[in-house]
Amino acid sequence: MKTLVQIIKEHMMYKNQIGKLAKADLAKTYRGAALGWTWAIIKPAVTIFVYWFAFAVGLRMSSDVNGYPYFLWLIAGVIPWFYISEMITGGTDCIRRYSYLVTKMKFPVSTIPTFVNISKFMVNLMLIYIMIIIFRLFGFTPDIYILQLPFYLLLAFLFCNIWSLLSAPLAVISKDYGNLVKAFLTAVFWLSGIIWNPDTAKGHALKIFLNLNPVTYLVNGFRNCFINKVWFWEQPKRLLYFVIFLAIMLFFAIRIYKKLRKDIPDVL
C-alpha cells in the first residue's frame, strides 16, 4: 500500500509535467513526417482495409453481424486494438525510450507510463470519432448504448497503464523481455477476437478460455456500444473476471516496481 500511495502522490505532484510530456510525446511521434498528423489516420486505415479485403473479399467472411455490415463490425474491434497493441509494446519500451528523464532529470519512473498512455489515448479518441462518422455514413447512427463508451475507455486506459507499470521495469532489466512481448503480440491479436467472434468457437471450455482474455473483454465492450447493443451490467461475470485480472496485474506491478525502481537508473 505504501508503494501505491507513493505512486499516486508522484502523479499528483507532477500532474502538470505529465500533461506537457504527453503532448510532447504525441508531437514527437509524427514530427519530421511530411504528412504529419495524417499518419495517425493513414496507418490504421491501411491496416483496416487489408483486414477487410483479406476476410471479406479473399475469404468471403462478409456476412452481416447483428444487422451491421462486417466492415463496421471489424472496425469496432480493430480501433480499440490499435490503442491496446500500441501500449502493449510502447508501454513496455517507455522507460527505455525516455531514459534521460530518469538518469538526468530524476523524473519519477512511475509517471512515464502514464504520459505515454495519455498520448496514445488521445490518438484513440480521434480514431473513435472517425469511426462514429463512418457508422453514420453507412446509415447507422450510434444510439443510447454509446453512453457506456466512457466506461470501457476508462477500463482500457487503466489496463494499459497498469500493464505498462508492470512491463516497463522488466524491459529495463532484460531486453529479452521486451522482445518476448513483441513476439507474443501476434498471438494476443488472434486470440482476442479482433477479426472473429470468440463466442462462435466450438466447445464451452474454449469459449470460457477465450473470453477470460482481458483484451477480448475490452474489444467486445466497444462492440457492445456500437454493434451488440448490450449494457456492461448485463455481463457481470465477464466484468468480474476483468476486474480480478486488473487487480492481480496491479498487485504484481506494484511489487515489481517496488523491487526494481532503485535499480532502474543504474541499469539505464
In tens, the pLDDT along 37-74 reads 666 677 777 777 777 676 666 555 567 777 888 888 88
* Average pLDDT rounded to a whole number, residues 188-212: 78
Domain boundaries of the chain, sorted by first residue: 2-267
What span, in angstroms and rounded, lies between the C-alpha atoms of 52 and 65?
A: 14
The least confident of 51-65, 137-151, 175-189, 247-261 is: 51-65
In tens, the pLDDT along 119-138 reads 999 989 988 988 898 899 88
Residue 68: helix, strand or coil by DSSP?
Answer: strand
Question: pTM of the entire structure?
Answer: 0.90
Residue 142: which residues within 8 A CB-CB, separation 6 or more?
132, 135, 136, 225, 226
Is the four-CA dihedral 31, 47, 90, 160 of positive or negative sign?
Answer: positive
Cα angle for residues 57, 63, 64 (degrees, 5° grid): 130
What span, in angstroms and rounded, lies between the C-alpha atoms of 156 and 124?
A: 11
In tens, the pLDDT along 3-37 reads 888 888 888 888 888 888 888 887 776 665 555 56
Res 220 pLDDT > 80: yes
Report which of 26, 23, 267 is spatially closest to residue 168, judged by C-alpha positions: 267
- Provide the pLDDT confidence category of residue 151 given band limits of 50, 70 and 90: very high
What span, in angstroms and rounded, lies between the C-alpha atoms of 233 and 112?
A: 33
